[in-house]
Structure 1
Amino acid sequence: MSPLNSVYFRNATIVHPDFFFISGFAGIPHTKYYYVFLCFVYALTLLGNTFVMVIIYTDHCLHSPKYIVVFNLAVSDLCVSTALVPPLIDTFLFKSHLISFEACLTNMFFVFLFLIMQSFTLTVLSYDRYVAICFPLRYNEIVTNKSMSVITTVTWIIAGLAMLIALIFMNKLSFCKSAVINSYFCDHGPMFRLACNDNTPNYAISHSHPALISWLPLLFITGTYICIGRALLKIAGASERLKALKTCTSHLILVCVFYLPLCITFAMGATIHQNARIINTSLATVLPSMLNPIIYSLMTEEFKESIKKFYRRKKIHITGRNT
């Protein structure tokens, strides 16, 4: 943009369209089957994450620092799916492609807020495993319910501020070109590129936020597991080493499920077809939320024991009521 145009648009009245058009899956065949699949994924996400939250809330043995973070992950999973799937179904299955400017910004805020929180929560879980394995004698001193609550609150504040800054700069854009967003929700990148005034701050945000969501947390997680690997090598007995490693298995699977699809999609860049990118990104954002509670329920021994206790209590309650 020329300096003259830049000055003109700074002084011009900001133009916001009444509505944006979400194009999303318009060019993809047989999408109705995909919507049915997404409805199934969303139903499992609701059931699975609600179940995880109920188990953690009702079992006092799980009122520990680690499960404060797991509870927070379940909340983030539930919220990001709710922010994505119902509007997506309404948009494409019921042909409601138009969304107001204010509703679009709201949708963008909550989708990215909960995505950032998913990433941050996995990062906090890696910190928990790092302290547990590298400093086992000091674990109860370093990682407490209070410290984990503070860390979790700080991550929510950082994520909220990051998205608030993005929305402030998005609100300063003037949209006098197309109002068609080439995505399945009010995605930041496709939206700010429609602006006709200076979008340099939004361009910077579009590069910094992926780092905030993916690259920096993944770098931190990788660093913690390098330290964990070194600590495990110092453990003399193979059985003790395997036992310590098992405590990390569920978290490692969660990390792979969340980061690998996103990293692959980002790495392919412009070489991937737009339709394939939309499908890949939509799967990468909804599938981890469904799989996380399943992984924790199947691969964490203490959580499995809590599930058994929950069903025993329910059985005793039902038996006592019938008698």
Structure 2
Amino acid sequence: MTVLNDSVIIHPPGFYIIGLQTLPYISVYIIFLAFVYMVTVLFNCLVIYVIVFNHCLHTPKYLAVVNLAVIDVILSTSIIPNMIKVFLMKDNFIPFNECLVQMYSYYAFGTLESFALAILAYDRMIAICFPLHQNSINTLRSMSYIIGLIWCFSLGIMAYGIGILTQLSFCNSLKVFSYFCDYTPVFTLACNNYTMQWTVATSLTFLILVVPFTLICISYVSILVTVFRMKSLDSRVKALATCTEHIILVAVFYIPLITIFNIAYYLQFNNKDLPLLSLSLASCTPPCVNPIVYSFRTKEIRNRALALVRKIGTDQEKVLEVFP
């Protein structure tokens, strides 16, 4: 127990994760997620390495891409290894403090993921709508400030949101119906979950998804207005082609989440684990898809990644010649 302002706050030793337990072949699904995690780490680290060690890629756009890659690695690490522990090793107990850490990591970097996509949309908007002033408006310094501000905001707002849970007593069940230590399922276990605190939780969800998505929509409305003002059809196609990879990332991140939330809200499932299964897949897939899209769709990254692979292959051949 922790005493705070003459009130007794009761914190349990921990929680039990009980989601996805009724699904058959859940072990196969978790093995698939383990493969997704390895691909996520490998490709994101490759993107980070290629951009960091090639000075010609030190531009605002690729700074934003590195930012997204770093977020993807941490976001995947915050959830998939723990799912392996829970569902493969059958250890579904998580201590209270570790629960808060996992919850904070997932939601903080999920928020950063949303805003990272908004930053990339901003970069495309400046490049297309203000081509003559792009180098003066969107500089490395300004992009660094934007990214730093978003990190401070996201980490700070989620620290406040998770801090609310430390002010609650938990006197109900310790079973969390989710695939990780999720905010809302844990919040509902509290015995003094006041209306104000629930309102704050709803506001955090609004900040995580709605605000970045609105910024992305505003950016693309500006882009479309500029594109349709262009006289040349070829210019229009080239301008929109530069947005292709970003549109794919936005679709992969937002469409599954929006679809799942709407279906879960309007339809009743006989098996409550099915929405959790879909949500877990929608949460774990984007960090894996993002670097693959940028690797194959962006010529600069693709060429330098292939050159790096060839160099590694050549070095291995030289080693085999020395040590046959």
TM-score (norm 2): 0.92
Amino acid at match of 1:128: D
The secondary structure found in structure 2 opposite 1:306 is helix
CA–CA distance in structure 1, aligned partners of residues 215 and 239 of structure 2? 20
Superposition pairs of residues 100-179 of structure 1, within 5 angstroms: 100-179=95-174
Q: How far 1:199 sits from its partner (Å)?
A: 2.9
The secondary structure found in structure 1 opposite 2:243 is helix
Q: How far 1:297 sits from its partner (Å)?
A: 0.9
CA–CA distance in structure 2, aligned partners of residues 312 and 246 of structure 1? 28
Aligned match for 1:262, one of 241, 247, 257: 257
The secondary structure found in structure 1 opposite 2:94 is strand
Q: How far 1:235 sits from its partner (Å)?
A: 1.3
Moved more, 253-262 or 203-212: 203-212
Asked if the contact 1:45–1:78 (Cα under 8 Å) also holds between the matched residues in 2, the reply is yes
Q: How far 1:231 sits from its partner (Å)?
A: 0.4
Aligned match for 1:211, one of 185, 206, 212: 206
The secondary structure found in structure 2 opposite 1:13 is strand
CA–CA distance in structure 1, aligned partners of residues 310 and 82 of structure 2? 38
Deviations 1:131-169 (A, max 9, x none): 000000000000111111111111110111111111221
Aligned match for 2:15, one of 8, 17, 20: 20
CA–CA distance in structure 1, aligned partners of residues 5 and 261 of structure 2? 33
User: Where does residue 185 of structure 1 map in the other structure?
Assistant: 180
Amino acid at match of 1:300: T
Superposition pairs of residues 1-323 of structure 1, within 5 angstroms: 12-270=7-265, 271-273=267-269, 274-311=272-309, 313-314=311-312
Asked if the contact 1:192–1:202 (Cα under 8 Å) also holds between the matched residues in 2, the reply is no
Q: How far 1:308 sits from its partner (Å)?
A: 3.8
Amino acid at match of 2:158: M
Deviations 1:103-139 (A, max 9, x none): 1001100011111111110000000000000000000
Asked if the contact 1:192–1:199 (Cα under 8 Å) also holds between the matched residues in 2, the reply is no
The secondary structure found in structure 2 opposite 1:183 is coil
CA–CA distance in structure 2, aligned partners of residues 269 and 308 of structure 1? 43
Return closer, same or farther for 1:198/1:10 CA change in 2, 3 Å cut-off.
farther
Q: How many residues matched?
A: 315
Amino acid at match of 1:178: S
Return closer, same or farther for 1:91/1:319 CA change in 2, 3 Å cut-off.
closer
User: Where does residue 3 of structure 1 map in the other structure?
Assistant: none
CA–CA distance in structure 2, aligned partners of residues 57 and 249 of structure 1? 23
The secondary structure found in structure 1 opposite 2:33 is helix
Q: How far 1:11 sits from its partner (Å)?
A: 6.2
Asked if the contact 1:79–1:114 (Cα under 8 Å) also holds between the matched residues in 2, the reply is yes
The secondary structure found in structure 1 opposite 2:200 is helix
Where does the alignment leave 5 or more consecutive residues of structure 2 unmatched?
none
Moved more, 276-285 or 305-314: 305-314
Q: How far 1:68 sits from its partner (Å)?
A: 0.6
Q: How far 1:237 sits from its partner (Å)?
A: 1.3
* Higher share of residues assigned helix: 1
Return closer, same or farther for 1:318/1:93 CA change in 2, 3 Å cut-off.
closer
Q: How far 1:200 sits from its partner (Å)?
A: 2.3
Q: How far 1:206 sits from its partner (Å)?
A: 2.5
Return closer, same or farther for 1:61/1:318 CA change in 2, 3 Å cut-off.
farther
CA–CA distance in structure 2, aligned partners of residues 14 and 287 of structure 1? 38
Return closer, same or farther for 1:161/1:238 CA change in 2, 3 Å cut-off.
same
Asked if the contact 1:117–1:159 (Cα under 8 Å) also holds between the matched residues in 2, the reply is yes
Provide the aligned C-alpha RMSD in A.
Answer: 1.9
Amino acid at match of 2:296: L
Amino acid at match of 1:82: T
Q: How far 1:317 sits from its partner (Å)?
A: 5.8
CA–CA distance in structure 2, aligned partners of residues 199 and 108 of structure 1? 20
TM-score (norm 1): 0.92
CA–CA distance in structure 2, aligned partners of residues 316 and 97 of structure 1? 46
